[in-house]
């Protein structure tokens, strides 16, 4: 029986939904994020605000929320050249992957998360990776997660469970899941406080939240929101 979890929590829509999922399910939940000199510090600020809002608005979850870990991963900026860490425009590469792809980034995140989970005695690692996402990052696929779960469990001689509540659902279903977990209040919190936009834009407010409105992350979020609201109205 699993009772404790560590959530990879970036402060976006997906990881906030994953956090709510873990808080509904487990007795003690800690959070972790990585600072790899993202172009936009706004993400790291947003995640603290989301944590604070959850504590205020969901007292039954607040009592389960434990330590929040922020690991410095500046080294990632020196090994990869992508539009998330360098000042280059977002585009799709010939490989079919967007240039936001940092090879192996998620493998590194999971390995470090497992090391923290080991030290903090947390059993489940929850991550918002998703195969239905447009990006198709190979280090977010289900097979990769299963392989990592095995590698980390063997390599640390401790049984870890990697849980991926969003793996097979689209963005509209992610909004629905948030509603199931925390009702309208959670959906509103996600709209208002989570950050997804690749350009770090938070000056324009749309129905679905803040963002530039035209980067791939904003488009995905807006499209999912439109489907979610449309289905709810129908």
Interface residue list for Zn ion (CB under 5 A): 197, 199, 211-212, 215, 218
Question: Minimum CB separation from Zn ion for residue 170, in Å?
Answer: 18
Question: Minimum CB separation from Zn ion for residue 99, in Å?
Answer: 15
- Closer residue to Zn ion, CB minimum distance, 11 or 211: 211
Question: Minimum CB separation from Zn ion for residue 85, in Å?
Answer: 17
Contacts 24+ apart (CB under 8 A), 92-96: 96/136
For residue 88 the two structure tokens come to 């280059």
Question: Minimum CB separation from Zn ion for residue 7, in Å?
Answer: 24
Question: Minimum CB separation from Zn ion for residue 174, in Å?
Answer: 17
Alpha helices in 102-165 (DSSP H): 105-120, 142-155
The residues, ordered by sequence, that sit 6+ positions from 179 with a Cβ below 8 Å of its Cβ are 186, 187
Question: Minimum CB separation from Zn ion for residue 31, in Å?
Answer: 24
The residues, ordered by sequence, that sit 6+ positions from 164 with a Cβ below 8 Å of its Cβ are 126, 127, 128, 129, 130, 142, 145
- Closer residue to Zn ion, CB minimum distance, 165 or 211: 211
Closest Cα to residue 55, out of 207, 193, 206? Answer: 193
- Closer residue to Zn ion, CB minimum distance, 53 or 100: 100
- Closer residue to Zn ion, CB minimum distance, 108 or 197: 197
- Closer residue to Zn ion, CB minimum distance, 1 or 89: 89
Backbone φ and ψ of 72, nearest 5°: -80, 120
- Closer residue to Zn ion, CB minimum distance, 32 or 215: 215
Give the dihedral of Cα atoms 162, 166, 167, 169; nearest 10 deg: 160
């Amino acid at each position: 029986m699993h009772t404790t979890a560590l959530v990879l929590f970036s402060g976006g829509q997906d990881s906030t939904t994953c956090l709510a999922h873990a808080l509904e399910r487990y007795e003690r939940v800690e959070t972790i994020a990585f600072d790899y000199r993202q172009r936009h510090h706004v993400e790291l600020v947003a995640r603290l605000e989301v944590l604070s809002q959850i504590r205020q608005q969901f007292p039954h979850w607040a009592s389960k929320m434990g330590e929040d870990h922020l690991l410095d991963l500046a080294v990632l900026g020196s090994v990869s050249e992508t539009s998330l860490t360098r000042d280059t425009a977002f585009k799709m590469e010939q490989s079919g992957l967007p240039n936001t792809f940092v090879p192996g980034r998620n493998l590194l995140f999971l390995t470090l998360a497992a090391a923290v989970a080991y030290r903090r005695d947390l059993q489940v690692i929850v991550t918002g990776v998703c195969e239905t996402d447009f990006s198709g990052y190979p280090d977010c696929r289900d097979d990769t997660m299963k392989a990592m779960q095995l590698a980390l469990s063997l390599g640390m001689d401790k049984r870890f469970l990697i849980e991926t509540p969003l793996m097979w659902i689209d963005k509209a279903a992610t909004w629905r899941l948030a509603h199931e977990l925390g009702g309208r209040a959670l959906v509103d919190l996600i709209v208002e406080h989570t950050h997804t936009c690749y350009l770090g834009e938070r000056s324009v407010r749309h129905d679905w939240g803040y963002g530039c409105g035209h980067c791939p992350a904003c488009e995905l979020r807006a499209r999912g929101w439109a489907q979610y609201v449309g289905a709810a109205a129908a």
